[in-house]
Structure formats: structure tokens, C-alpha cells
Amino acid sequence: MKIEILFPEYCNLFGDMSNMGYLKQCLPHGEFIETALDSEPRFLTEPMDLVYLGPMTERGQERVIEKLMPYKERIRALIQEGRVFLFTGNAVEVLGTSIEKEDGGKIHCLGLYPLTAKRDMMHRHNSTFLGKFQGQPVMGFKSQFTMAWCADESLALFQVEKGVGLNKKCKFEGIRQKNFFGTYLLGPLLIDNPPFTRYLLQCMGVQKPALAFEAAAQSAYDARLKDFKEKT
């Protein structure tokens, strides 16, 4: 099992690198490869069971877009092949169409999805989220300077139950195509949501997923779900 963590020196905000720390506990024999921004991503030439990209600053985001732009068609092909990708926080915007800055200028992204984002650097949005994935509850937190729009609802990852989707009027959150999963949810997502983590491991080829500290993780999930339903 090979997992590539892209640009961890830049894409590591909100403690979301704990997603990979937890996967290391779930996959103790897995090979975890950390690829720096000045290195060639190995998933472009080697089969990976998962490619992970975490949240980053806005300046870091622009550097990541510049880095990955020459490989956009290769990334598109790998997603079509069913390779597994998990992008959290504002990483999902990297594969969108554009990001509008406050002065009206636009940052052109890789254009793999019809997702547009708009920055408002004077107003950070913070909220809790409760939704559904494959019939199971999914929870997380949001902390971002952007709102996003995607006209293609077939790309929805999570259905909103409480909280904010891609934007305040959108009824879904995140982007999914085959085994590409992109979400603004923080938490970290994999620790907070055992059902989703089991599904992700199955997509990666794990036949009978066994989570690290499974009983404790499930108990915390159940307690968190009760709290979210009461307070969100």
C-alpha cells in the first residue's frame, strides 16, 4: 500500500495532516511518501493507492496550482482510471476553474471541475457541518476565506443536513468524481468519520478495513453526532 502526501511543508494547516497520521495507524505496513513542492510528484509515474493534498495558505495555493498545472491532463487521466485522491480544505479549489480575488482578478486553476471560488480575505467563514455520505452521517468543521460554486450537482460529495455547503445556498458540499474526493471539511475528516474512512480504505483496495482504535473512534463519532444534532 503506497500513499503519497503532497507538499506537506506548505499544505498542513488546521491540523489536517492528522488525516495521514491516522492512516499510518490504520495501515502500519503502508509506505507513506512525502513529496516536497520542489520535487516531482511520484503519483505521476508510479501507481499510488492514495494521493493526499491538505489545506494551505492562499499564497501556497497559488504555488501549488503553478506546480501542478503542467500535469493537469495526467491528473485528469488518473482520476478517470479510478485512482484515489483525497483533497481537504481549500486544496479542492486547485482542481477547479478559477479563484476570484478581491480586486476582481482571477487565478486560473487546473480546470478539471466546473468549480469557481471567490475570496473574501476580510471575512473568514467558520462553521460546523453535518451531512450525509452513502447514507451515513459525516461531520466536520469549516474555516475558509472563500465560498465556491459548482453548477454540476452530479459531482456532489456530501449532502447538507445542517451547516453550509460549497456556499451558503448550496445543498451539497465537496466534489466527487469516481475516487476523487475533495472537501472543505476539516476536523480532521478521517479521524472524525469512521464510516467515511472505511469507505476510503475500501476504495484504496483494503478488503476488510480495520480502523486504528476502532472502538474509541466509533464511540467518539457517536457522541459527536449526538452533539452536532443537538447544537448545529
**pLDDT per residue as tens digits for the range 194-206:** 999 999 999 999 9
Q: Taking the model in full, what pTM does it have?
A: 0.96
Helix (H/G/I), strand (E/B), else coil: 203:
helix
Asked if pLDDT for residue 229 goes beyond 90, the answer is no
| Residue 34 half-sphere exposure toward CB, CA atoms < 13 A | 10
pLDDT of residue 230: 82
Q: Give SS3 for 150.
A: strand
The length of the chain, given as a count of residues: 232
Closest Cα partner for 171 from 155, 182, 186, 195?
Answer: 155
- Give the DSSP letter of residue 185: -
What's the mean per-residue pLDDT of the chain?
96
pLDDT in tens, 157-182: 999 999 999 999 999 999 999 999 99
Q: Which residues contact 25 (CB under 8 A, 6 or more apart)?
A: 212, 213
Which helix (H) or strand (E) is 173 found in, with range? strand 172-177
Distance CA 134, CA 129 (A): 16
**Are residues 48 and 77 in contact, defined by beta-carbon separation less than 8 angstroms?**
no
* Chain segment 96-151, per-residue pLDDT in tens: 999 999 998 999 999 999 999 999 999 999 999 999 999 999 999 999 999 999 98
Q: How many CB atoms lie within 10 A of CB 204?
A: 21
What pLDDT score was predicted for residue 121?
94
pLDDT per residue over 106-120, tens digit each?
Answer: 999 999 999 999 999
- DSSP 8-state code for residue 205: T
Q: State yes or no: pLDDT of 232 exceeds 60.
A: no
Q: Which residues contact 70 (CB under 8 A, 6 or more apart)?
A: none
- The answer on pLDDT for 214 being more than 70 is yes
Provide the grid cell at 214: 476502532
- Please give the biggest Cα pair distance in the chain: 50
State how far the Cα of 61 lies from the Cα of 96, in Å rounded to an integer. 12
Percent of the chain with pLDDT strictly greater than 90: 95
- Per DSSP, 121 falls in state T
CA distance 1 to 28: 10
Mention every residue, 6+ apart, whose C-beta is less than 8 A from residue 30.
1, 2, 3, 23, 24, 49
Are 117 and 144 a contacting pair, CB within 8 Å? Answer: no
pLDDT digits (tens, 9 = 90+) for 28-69: 999 999 999 999 999 999 999 999 999 999 999 999 999 999
